[in-house]
Amino acid sequence: MQSKLNTEVNIRIAIFDDNEAIRNSLFQLLNYTPGLEVVAMFDNCVNATKKIDEYLPRVVLMDINMPDCSGIDAVKEIKSAFPTIDIIMFTVFEEENKIFEALQAGATGYLLKSTQPIKIIEAIQDIIAGGAPMTAAIARKVMQFFNNQIKQQHNKDVLTSREQDVLKSLIEGYSYKMIAAHLHISIETVRTYIKRIYDKMHVNSMTEAVAKAIKERWFN
Amino acid sequence: MQSKLNTEVNIRIAIFDDNEAIRNSLFQLLNYTPGLEVVAMFDNCVNATKKIDEYLPRVVLMDINMPDCSGIDAVKEIKSAFPTIDIIMFTVFEEENKIFEALQAGATGYLLKSTQPIKIIEAIQDIIAGGAPMTAAIARKVMQFFNNQIKQQHNKDVLTSREQDVLKSLIEGYSYKMIAAHLHISIETVRTYIKRIYDKMHVNSMTEAVAKAIKERWFN
DNA sequence: TTTTTTGTCCCCCTTTTATGGTATTGTAAC
DNA sequence: GTTACAATACCATAAAAGGGGGACAAAAAA
């Protein structure tokens, strides 16, 4: 068996889900699909890393809501111990914050349990091929994450070019003195700009200005 | 025609691409697909908004590299004038920064020109259905965007709970005095924590600490 | 052509931050 | 039962930032 080509080696899958019926139907679905092999199933994700270590799956299907432990924490654990394992979240609801938490925790895919069986198989093949499988609706939410970050970019427009230079320098962590040197202007000029910036941004300290500019992504 | 049901009304598509061959094959592909209708094609995106206004498409296929204008700027323009129009970027290469620029500009999908024709049709139907069509490789890059933001979260761990409180307050824009009041501790204690925070973060000003913490997403 | 904006600079004065110390408690680890 | 760390607090001094002005030339807008 060891001598077979890589392409003929089954994709090892581990399933974490507290619902036995779901575990079983996933097992049926996946294990009888050529090329896939369910090597382990668990009804909770306590000590997930240890469980993974024992069965070394290539792909993990992880429920979010399990008793005694959070699937998202499990993802963090697994990803930090086994960065190459791909994890697909598998859940009933598409709660916006759960999605982002899961993705930030290191999940690569996000499927709803209502997904057609054939799509689940495709998702696993997809993730092995370097894809990031997710339902259209979830992909859309991920996109909105990007879009939301450009809404009020008009704020930036009210700053003159020189004021923007100074604000950028503040974000870099430069002091007045450093900014003056960097922009080849007097420190008094820097002070003038900063006063105007605070005025326009409705803040009254470097920290506030920097926090606001970074959070609202005035620059990139 | 106007009296037909919505589901029977064709999806109006506009194409921006400087390559005539590509325009023509897209036209062939899409226009002869039931339910789709190419209502306009352009070899550049100068005055994109005006062009859109004339033909009012539901979906736009936009090349990134066109002479005389940037597809990404066109996306910004169109999106700000017609927020409900869905735009799919359609390009030869998958340059990482172009992808993010396009998505931040408001594109919802991102396809490579090497995509199979059938997938292009699916993508258009997908986007109408609220999806965000993109190739697996691109979806993966988008995922990496999230993942990249959790890499060095161990930094945060070295801060004690109280130090984290103070740092969070700094990010909120609070001054020493305000933090002291807010956390019910002496301003001297605040100063002590801040000194330790700077030490651990390897910075030496509020601005740097705040910028670093926000950029590296120590909190959320 | 006049007015407004932008970029540049200066002064005075107050408040806040930064740096470098020391010190006391309670708790957790060894 | 000592060592280590966390949380708390204080002092002194220097440096930086904030708030209030005013000024002037060049460019842009009205």
Assess if residue A3 is contained within a domain. no
Closest-lying nucleotide for A193 based on CA to C1': C7
Sign of CA dihedral B37, B42, B47, B51: negative
What is the pLDDT, as a whole number, of residue A217? 65
- Does the pLDDT at position B139 exceed 60? yes
Strands A86-91 and A59-63: parallel
Assess if residue A1 is contained within a domain. no
The four Cα atoms B103, B108, B112, B114 give a dihedral, to 10 degrees, of 180
- Per the CB < 8 Å rule, is B203 touching A173? yes
Same domain, A64 and A115: yes
B24 vs B93: which has the higher pLDDT:
B24
- Per the CB < 8 Å rule, is B139 touching A139? yes
Closest residue in B to A215 (Cα) is B214
Alpha carbons within 13 angstroms on the beta-carbon side of residue B176 total: 12
Same domain, A64 and A169: no
Which amino acid residue lies closest to nucleotide C19, measuring CA to C1'? B195
CA distance A49 to A103: 18
* Average pLDDT score, chain B: 80
Same domain, A125 and A161: no
Assess if residue B78 is contained within a domain. yes
- Per the CB < 8 Å rule, is A150 touching B105? yes
CA geometry: angle A77, A82, A86, nearest 5 deg: 95
Contacts of A83 (CB under 8 A, 6+ apart): none
pLDDT digits (tens, 9 = 90+) for B148-174: 544 444 444 567 778 888 888 888 888
Nucleotides of D strand lying within 7 Å of any protein CB atom:
5-12, 16-23
What is the pLDDT, as a whole number, of residue B3? 39
Low-confidence ranges of chain A (pLDDT < 50): 1-6, 149-154
Assess if residue A5 is contained within a domain. no
Contacts of A99 (CB under 8 A, 6+ apart): A89, A110, A138, A141, A142
Other C-beta atoms within 10 Å of A129: how many?
A: 11
Domain end residue (candidates: A135, A153, A182): A135
Those residues of chain A whose CB sits closer than 8 Å to some CB in chain B are 76, 100, 103-106, 108, 126, 129-137, 139-140, 142-143, 146-147, 149-150, 170-173, 175, 203, 205-208, 210-211, 214-215
What is the pLDDT, as a whole number, of residue A40? 93
What is the pLDDT, as a whole number, of residue B19? 86
Same domain, A175 and A95: no
Residues of B in contact with A103 (CB under 8 A): 143, 146-147
- Does the pLDDT at position B113 exceed 70? yes
What is the pLDDT, as a whole number, of residue B36? 92
Residues of A in contact with B143 (CB under 8 A): 103, 108, 132
Distances (CA, A) of B109 to A148, B46, B88: 16, 21, 4
Assess if residue A4 is contained within a domain. no
Tell me how many domains chain A contains.
2
What is the pLDDT, as a whole number, of residue A61? 93
Same domain, A131 and A166: no
CA distance B207 to A173: 6
In angstroms, how far apart are the furthest CA atoms of chain B? 76
Q: Which domain holds residue B115?
A: 11-135
Strands B59-62 and B86-91: parallel
Same domain, A81 and A185: no
Same domain, B130 and B164: no
Same domain, B61 and B152: no
Same domain, A130 and A148: no
- Residue A114: give its domain's CATH number: 3.40.50.2300
pLDDT digits (tens, 9 = 90+) for B39-72: 999 998 888 888 999 999 999 999 888 877 888 8
Domain end residue (candidates: A73, A103, A135): A135
A145 vs B107: which has the higher pLDDT:
B107
Task: At A113, list the tokens.
Answer: 């349990």
pTM passes above 0.75? no
- End-to-end Cα, chain B, rounded Å: 51
Same domain, A37 and A118: yes
b/e for B72-95, b at 16 or more Cβ within 10 A?
Answer: bebbbbbbeebeebbbbbbbeebe
Those residues of chain B whose CB sits closer than 8 Å to some CB in chain A are 100, 103-106, 108, 126, 129-137, 139-140, 142-143, 146-147, 149-150, 170-173, 175, 203, 205-208, 210-212, 214-215
Same domain, A123 and A164: no
Assess if residue B98 is contained within a domain. yes
Q: Which residue has the tokens 């109280």?
A: B162
Question: What's the one-letter identity of residue B214?
Answer: I
Three-state secondary structure call for residue A63: strand
Centroid of chain to Cα A198: 33
Q: Which residue has the tokens 């709660």?
A: A95
In angstroms, how far apart are the furthest CA atoms of chain A? 76
Same domain, B121 and B200: no
Assess if residue B220 is contained within a domain. no
- Cα of A26 to nearest chain B Cα, Å: 23
Assess if residue B2 is contained within a domain. no
Contacts of B132 (CB under 8 A, 6+ apart): A136, A139, A140, A142, A143, B108, B109, B126
- Residue A194: give its domain's CATH number: 1.10.10.10
Q: Which residue has the tokens 């399990």?
A: A66
pLDDT digits (tens, 9 = 90+) for A96-133: 667 777 877 778 888 888 788 888 888 888 888 877 77
B4 vs B132: which has the higher pLDDT:
B132
- Per the CB < 8 Å rule, is A103 touching B143? yes
- Per the CB < 8 Å rule, is A172 touching B211? yes
Three-state secondary structure call for residue B131: coil
Domain end residue (candidates: A135, A162, A190): A135
The four Cα atoms B177, B182, B185, B189 give a dihedral, to 10 degrees, of -50
> Are A168 and A174 spatial neighbours (Cβ–Cβ below 8 Å)?
no
Question: What's the one-letter identity of residue B31?
Answer: N
Confidence band (pLDDT; 50, 70, 90) for B15? very high
Protein CA B163 to sugar C1' C11 (Å): 39
